[in-house]
Amino acid sequence: MIYADTPLTDAVRRAVSTTWGVSCDGGRRLYGGEESAAYLLGDHVVRVGPASRTSAESEWCHAVARHAAAHLAEAVAPVPTSGGDTVIRVDGRPISLWPYIEGDWPDSDLPEHRVQGARLLARLHAALASARPGPRPAPAFQESGLYGEPPHDAAGLADPALDRWLAEFHRSHHVRHPLHGDYYTGNTLTSDGTIVAVLDWDEAFVGAPEVELAAAALEWGDDELGPSKEFVDAYLEAGGTASPLTEEELAQLVRHKLRREYAYFHKAVAAGVAHDEDDLDYFHQRVALFHDLTP
């Protein structure tokens, strides 16, 4: 996996100190972040986003995080400025400040972590069901092709039958509310075996909760060969807002997720990213899974 190498510049340090009044000594790069780079400064984390992301888009995603945090202890929200905003721009990039949460990534190979992750997602969806953030300023990456239109950036996995299925699914499933958008182990943290935080709201969007449930079941799967039905069952038992999924529904929604992964891989290649052998092997496994899950 390739992570952003965006530096923490002196200009960003000065702006953060002036805006939020926090010390900017130090600045250890935190692990992770494919588009945004996060730096630990004392008790806070400074996130430096990509220049392509507008402030309006970041503020929208942060509003979703703030709503979640008002109802769910594990949801981590940004620190507002004195004016109530959560984003400033420095050198053309969106900058935000977040509380630092100590912890490690969960291990999806551990059934207890997988079940915890599912239960947390159920509570997160319940918390977000009442949020009304208005239209997202720009579509999230996961939304391309979601409603049946052939995604322009994934021609190598063109599947008209999947497109028609997605269109029909959304015609018959009417529940919509904000979703985290990228709910996988790397955006959560554990402490003493308990998941204590859900982070990184940059991909939040409004959609059917079943879409996120299926994607998360793949990410938290007990192996790399398909989604975890144990995850889905634990989510439903915990009272999540998504309806129960048939095997076909789970497979087709997972295939949408895999097609977006395919598009993201090629987007990175076009941007000059050189993937190593492990990345390439993983990519080919996921493409094979897309085909294997075809109903």
124-160 residue pLDDT tens? 999 999 999 999 999 999 999 999 999 999 999 999 9
| pLDDT for position 224 | 62
Structure-model confidence comparison of residues 29 and 225, the more confident one:
29
| pLDDT for position 225 | 65
Per-residue exposure over 136-155, b if at least 16 CB sit within 10 Å of its own CB, e if not: beeebbbbbbbebeebebbe
Q: What pTM did the predictor assign? A: 0.95
Mean pLDDT of the chain: 94
Share of the chain above pLDDT 70, in %: 97
22-76 residue pLDDT tens? 988 878 888 776 788 999 998 999 999 999 999 999 999 999 999 999 999 999 9
160-178 residue pLDDT tens? 999 999 999 999 999 999 9
232-288 residue pLDDT tens? 999 999 999 999 999 999 999 999 999 999 999 999 899 888 889 999 999 999 999
Cα separation, 273 vs 161, whole angstroms = 32
Contacts of 66-71 spanning 24+ positions with Cβ under 8 A: 67/127, 67/128, 67/130, 67/131, 67/133, 67/178, 68/124, 68/127, 68/128, 68/131, 68/198, 70/127, 71/127, 71/130
Asked if 103 contacts 197 with a C-beta cutoff of 8 angstroms, the reply is yes
Task: Fill in the DSSP letter of residue 138.
Answer: S
* β 188-191/44-48 pair status: unpaired
Asked if 205 contacts 177 with a C-beta cutoff of 8 angstroms, the reply is no
Task: Fill in the DSSP letter of residue 92.
Answer: T
* pLDDT tier, 1 (very low <50, low <70, confident <90, very high otherwise): low
Query: What is the arithmetic mean of pLDDT over 170-187?
Result: 96
Tell me the Ramachandran region of residue 181: left when phi exceeds 0, alpha when psi lies from -120 to 50, beta otherwise: left
Q: How many helices (H) and strands (E) does the chain have?
A: 8, 9
Asked if 99 contacts 76 with a C-beta cutoff of 8 angstroms, the reply is yes
pLDDT exceeds 60 at position 2:
no
Cα separation, 218 vs 213, whole angstroms = 9
Find the radius of gyration of the CA atoms of the chain: 19
198-216 residue pLDDT tens? 999 999 999 999 999 999 9
